[in-house]
Amino acid sequence: MSERGYLKRVAKAGSELARWRHYIEQLGRPGTLPPTDPLVQPRIFPRMEGLQTPPWRDSNQISASAILEKAAATIRREIETVEGSQHFNYTGGILGSGQWSVMPIFVFGEETGPLVFSKTLFPKTTQTIRSLPDVCDTFPLADIIFSAHAPKTRLVPHFSWDPFRLRLHLGIRCPKNCGIRVGSESRKWQEGKVLAFHDSCEHRTWNDSDETRVVLIVDVWHPDLTLIEREAILACFRKKEIRSALMRSRAPLALQPILDRKFAELDTSDPLVAEYWER
């Protein structure tokens, strides 16, 4: 950031980006980071001062929720047309038992279908997602995926990467004996309804039924971030070198060379990268 001009650009914004500049400075001095909370510990990027992180949010207060719920039947029809062989099995350390498969709609800030399958797999779902207020479809740390838990699948308690987002779960197929705990409170999904929570808080899920549970995961920006803070954060993580480094720790191996080529291509044309970074 120092060598390529990003910090200089952030400093020029003055008070509008003072909180973000302070956060970046703290990353370089770990002893100055905000106090930790046992239940709020994002794994890579720590808490940011001024961002409130209650485990659960009222989904009725999130504008994107009503749009997703209205489109739920259409979204369900689209996911049911895709073969299971096109999904990616998730084998990360948070899988306690069973099988977890995902179909990313956006991955590391790019639409998956055109990259991997040369077409948009879910045109109506993708259109709905792009229309959502505050959606993080271009943010490399965000997830916008269909998530399927096979019967008897459990995820162990875990935290997300960062504190910059709010996570929405739209229930698509929700059998009984399934649930999610965020912080100390557990809830159950309902088909066609949205749950909203901060995944920087400790959370775990379970499917103790004999059926597959499916939800659509959509990340939106944290409500406490200003528009210019969102822009600066987005510009930071869309830089090719930063995006590629993070991608290697999480993306399936088959996707990594495809994403690397895309990141390199966009690095010369992305307007936010051009605004915040020196060539």
Count of residues in the chain: 279
Q: What is the pLDDT of residue 85?
A: 60
Which H, E and C letters describe the chain, residue by residue? CCCCCHHHHHHHCHHHHHHHHHHHHHHCCHHHCCCCECCECCCCCCCCCCCCCCCEECHHHCHHHHHHHHCHHHHHHHHCCCCHHHCEEECCCCEEECCEEEEEEEECCEEHHHHHCCCCCCHHHHHHHHCCCCECCCCCCCEEEEEEECCCEEECCECCCCCCEEEEEEEEECCCCEEEEECCEEECCCCCCEEEECCCECEEEEECCCCCEEEEEEEEECCCCCHHHHHHHHHHHCCHHHHHHHHHCCCCCCCHHHHHHHHHHHHCCCHHHHHHCCC
Total-model pTM: 0.95
CA distance 96 to 205: 10
End-to-end CA distance of the chain: 12
Q: What is the pLDDT of residue 33?
A: 66
Token code pair at residue 265: 């291509």
C-alpha 173: how far from chain center: 21
Q: What is the pLDDT of residue 38?
A: 79
Q: What is the pLDDT of residue 36?
A: 67
Exposure class string for 213-222: b at 16+ Cβ within 10 A, else e: bbbbbbbbbb
- Indicate left, alpha or beta for 262 from its phi (over 0: left) and psi (-120 to 50: alpha): alpha
Token code pair at residue 140: 């490399």
Asked if 121 contacts 159 with a C-beta cutoff of 8 angstroms, the reply is: no
CA distance 266 to 258: 13
Full set of structural domains in the chain with CATH = 6-33+226-276 (no CATH), 56-221 (2.60.120.330)
Asked if 39 contacts 142 with a C-beta cutoff of 8 angstroms, the reply is: no
Q: What is the pLDDT of residue 35?
A: 63
Tens of each residue's pLDDT in the chain, 279 residues: 988 999 999 999 999 999 999 999 888 776 666 666 778 889 899 999 899 999 999 999 999 999 999 999 999 999 988 766 667 777 668 999 999 999 999 999 999 999 988 899 899 999 999 999 999 999 999 999 999 999 999 999 999 999 999 999 999 999 999 999 999 999 999 999 999 999 999 999 999 999 999 999 999 999 999 999 999 999 999 999 999 999 998 887 888 999 999 999 999 899 999 999 998
CA distance 169 to 191: 10
CA distance 279 to 268: 9
Residue 135 burial (10 A CB sphere; 0-12, 13-18, 19+)? buried
